[in-house]
Chain A
Amino acid sequence: MSSKQLSDKPERISIGAYFELFMNLTRREVKGRYSQSLFGAGWAIAQPLATMAVFTLVFARLGKMPSGGAPYPLFAYAALVPWFFFSNSVMSGTMSLVTYRNIVTKTYFPREIVPLAQVGSRLVDITAASGLYVLLMVYYQLAVTPWAALIPLFMLMLVLFTVGVTLATSAINVFYRDVNPVVQIGLQLWLYLTPVAYPLEAVENYRWFFLLNPLTGVVEGLRAVLVFGREPEWGVVAISAGLIVSIFIGALILFKSTDKYFADVI
């Protein structure tokens, strides 16, 4: 299973074993979250659904927010699902290393598995919530166009960005617990600074500010290919993709250069 040569590096264990550990921790998260709850995984749908209802009332009915011709509930829901994937992952991911301190301080394994499992467990939620999206499409009698084939691209961007942010916040939170409240407040504001409740065109004057937010490209892109069934704005997607890749690499470097000290300070 491992080479028996003296080495000052951690022993190398097969990727397969660590992938299974990731799966197990993910399963543990999901089970822990939904066991002894009557509604179970239904809660994964309730959150975007309820927010969609409120947004429809506030933005569409009262605020007369344009939704580019698409039914507003669908327009909002298509963005709320990826948003909650991101925000829930980051929220629990930030505290994850501290929550798992008993294994982090007692056994060796690649530490990134812990925050990754938080993101992984939210993949279950996003799958359930996407199921409801399909039902909404049927209800509103919207056709699926070939552009829907780009969904994996936007999902990849979403996951990569979420992992990047979670790695960074979880690592820094080990040293400074201030990260957690900052993240909680930040996420609340971030929702309104992302074109979730409104389209990017509605904030055309501040376009460059919104383009600095990598989620803009993800949300706008997903909405283009799913709700409107048209080509995404490639410029916006490219900017977001570039930001996401750099943030991911930066976060990975930050995480791997600090993880030696986790057990000492946690």
Chain B
Amino acid sequence: MSIAIQLENVTKRYRTGRSRTIVDLVASSVADMRGQTTEVHSATRGKIDATIHALRDVSFEVKEGAGLGIIGRNGAGKTTLLKMISRVTWPTSGTVRVAGHVVSLIELGAGFHPELTGRENVYLGAGLFGLTRKEIDRQFDAIVSFADVERLIDTPMKRYSSGLYARLGFSVAIHSNPDIVLVDEVLSVGDASFRRRAMEALRSLISSGKTVLFISHDMWNVRRLCSDILWMENGSVRAYGEAGAIAETYMNEVNLQAMQNQATSLQSHRGGTGEVRFEHVDLYNANGAPSATFAQNDTLVIRGSYMASKAVESPVFQVAIVDIDTGVVVTTASTAGRNAATTVQGPGEIEIRFAQLPLRPRQYVLRLSITDAFQLASYDVVTAGPRFAITGQGAGVDSLADEQDGLVTLPFDVAHRPPIKHRLSTD
């Protein structure tokens, strides 16, 4: 396999702040004459001349036909990297070498003009990606049918919905005979069915030997599409290699950081009338040690101490595990099983134990509440309680990404049997 992209010691510096005004120029030259080397502050527009390193000494190679996921926090330099490869911006030092035709999906439909019809914009947009009229003619039907805009193709694009706009933009890009496709978080627009088709299209580009660079915060999509991952941190390469291992380290670290940053108090979004309130809620693992990360199928113990300011008859304690991205996974209440509390007054403690957590490796937050016996009045509502994360296990993340979709893991068996004859046909 030949190399499609090669970066050698690439550094990119930007000057922050706004451009200089005449006043700044005078001020800085006065400062120069006095031999001052301190940072000049603009009289009108704040700090100038401060530089930031968007990329520091980045070197890596991408093989032709690879699917490379680029991950990292916001501001880590991911987009700058793609802009460098697409020649929109140039390195301050170092070399960027690219082989073949690059098509960048940094923003879908960037070249479209709202006054022009879909048809005219296809020619305009594909022209921006370097296609000639003849080449566009050949691809036109494919572009339109992939975007599913046959009905509106002769309507000015200002009448399009934003999803449709993005769909046509994506379709034009992938039909522009690319050798290298750069995708930057653009699949978050559009509906689920478009996202699925877009992923399919990218996957088939890779399997037909095209190189795809894919920036996403959605680790599932990255894992599904990419065999390798480049992990950027503060403008440098943190890790580069086989996707499974890096994705796992990354997710575990992201989860851990989220755990550390969480406020220890339960005060945000607190509700309820206050007769009984939680004072502390802590999470423990099977060994009784405090923990915020759990492996799949670990034991989770939630221990909450509460204070009842007056006698409250049979309060119900509820705990819900909420997936931060998708919503409630499971709710449970102290009446649901044994050990419903009788009348409480003063301090007390409650322990809820999940013997197994058949959850997918994601972040979760606990929602806690104390209600009256009929679950009508709420004494206390903790909307954002303690958080925890399920960390990926080697086997789990390394298996096919499709098997990792959804919220819970259920044990299952597969059996292959000979086909059953259709009953109707035997009649």
**B3 → A minimal CB distance (Å):** 6
The reply on A182 being an interface residue by CB < 8 A is no
Are A2 and B124 in contact, with the CB atoms below 8 A?
no
A41 adjacent to chain B (CB < 8 Å): no
Interface members, chain A 1-38 (any B CB < 8 Å):
1-8, 10-11, 13-14, 16-18, 20-21, 24-25, 27-28, 31-32, 35-36
How far, in angstroms, from A16 to B130 measured CA to CA in the complex?
Answer: 9
Write the chain A residue with the least CB distance to B22.
A178
| A25-68 at interface with B (beta carbon < 8 Å) | 25, 27-28, 31-32, 35-36
Q: Quick check: A264 and B89 within 8 Å, CB to CB? A: yes
Cβ A14 vs Cβ B132 within 8 A: yes
Q: Once the chains bind, are B110 and A107 in contact (CB under 8 Å)?
A: yes
Complex contact A6–B97 (CB within 8 A): yes
Find A263's partner among B88, B97, B115 (CB 8 Å cutoff). Answer: B88
Q: Does A175 contact B (CB under 8 A)?
A: yes
Residues of A within 8 A of B14 (CB): 264
Residue of B nearest to A2 (CB): B101
CB < 8 Å neighbour of A107 from B64, B129, B133 = B129
Verify if B99 is at the interface (C-beta below 8 Å from A): yes
The answer to whether B124 and A102 touch across the interface, beta carbons within 8 angstroms, is no
Within the assembled complex, what's the spacing in Å between the Cα atoms of A21 and B133?
9
- B350 smallest CB distance to A (angstroms): 55
Question: Which residues of A sit under 8 angstroms from B130, Cβ to Cβ?
Answer: 1-2, 11, 13, 17-18, 21, 109
Query: Interface readout for A82-95 with B: 1 if CB under 8 Å, 0 if not?
Result: 00000000000000
Which of A27, A176, A260 meets B90, CB within 8 Å? A260
B123 at the interface (CB under 8 A from A): yes
Chain B residues whose CB sits within 8 angstroms of the CB of A27 once the complex forms:
120
Categorize the interface residue count of chain A. 35 or more
- CB–CB A107/B104 < 8 A: yes
- Compute how far the CA of A220 lies from the CA of B107 in the bound complex, rounded to whole angstroms: 48
> Is B113 in contact with A28, judged by CB distance below 8 angstroms?
yes
- Whether a CB of chain B sits under 8 angstroms from the CB of A212 is no
Contact between chains at B97 and A24 (CB < 8 Å): no
Residues of B71-110 at the interface with A, using a CB-CB cut-off of 8 Å, are 83, 86-90, 95-102, 104, 106-107, 110
B139 within 8 A of A: no
Counting CB contacts under 8 A, is B59 at the interface?
A: no
A159-191 interface bits toward B, Cβ cutoff 8 Å, 1 = contact, 0 = none: 000000000000000011100000000000000
Cα–Cα, bound, A27→B115 (Å): 11
Distance A33 CA – B102 CA, assembled complex (angstroms):
32
> In A137-179, which residues have CB < 8 Å from any B CB?
175-177
What does DSSP make chain B's interface, helix, strand, loop or mixed?
Answer: loop
- The residue in chain B whose Cβ has the minimal distance to the Cβ of A103 is B111
User: For residue A33, which residue of chain B has the nearest CB?
Assistant: B115
Contact pick for A16, options B113, B123, B132, CB 8 Å: B132
**A 230-266 to B, binary, CB cutoff 8 A, 1 in contact else 0:** 0000000000000000000000000000001101110
The reply to whether B179 and A106 form a contact with Cβ atoms under 8 Å apart is no
- Asked if A209 is at the interface of the complex by the 8 Å CB criterion, the answer is no
Across the interface, B104 reaches (CB within 8 A) one of A17, A102, A106, A265, namely A106
From known contacts A32-B115, A103-B111, A103-B128, infer whether A108 and B88 are also in contact, taking CB-CB under 8 Å.
Answer: yes
Asked whether B129 lies within 8 Å of A8 as measured between CB atoms, the reply is: no
Within 8 A of B (CB), among A108-130: 108-109
Collect the chain A residues with CB atoms within 8 Å of residue B299's CB: none
Residues of A within 8 A of B98 (CB): 6-8, 11
Most chain B CB within 10 A, of A6, A25, A28, A103, is at A6
A17/B110 contact (C-beta < 8 A), A8-B96, A175-B19 known: no
Interface membership of B333, Cβ < 8 A: no
16 A-B residue pairings within 8 Å (CB atoms): A1-B101, A1-B177, A2-B130, A3-B100, A6-B3, A14-B132, A17-B127, A24-B127, A28-B115, A31-B120, A32-B115, A32-B116, A106-B110, A107-B104, A109-B130, A175-B19
Identify the B interface with A (CB < 8 A): 2-3, 6, 14, 19, 64, 83, 86-90, 95-102, 104, 106-107, 110-111, 113, 115-116, 120, 123-124, 127-133, 135, 177, 179
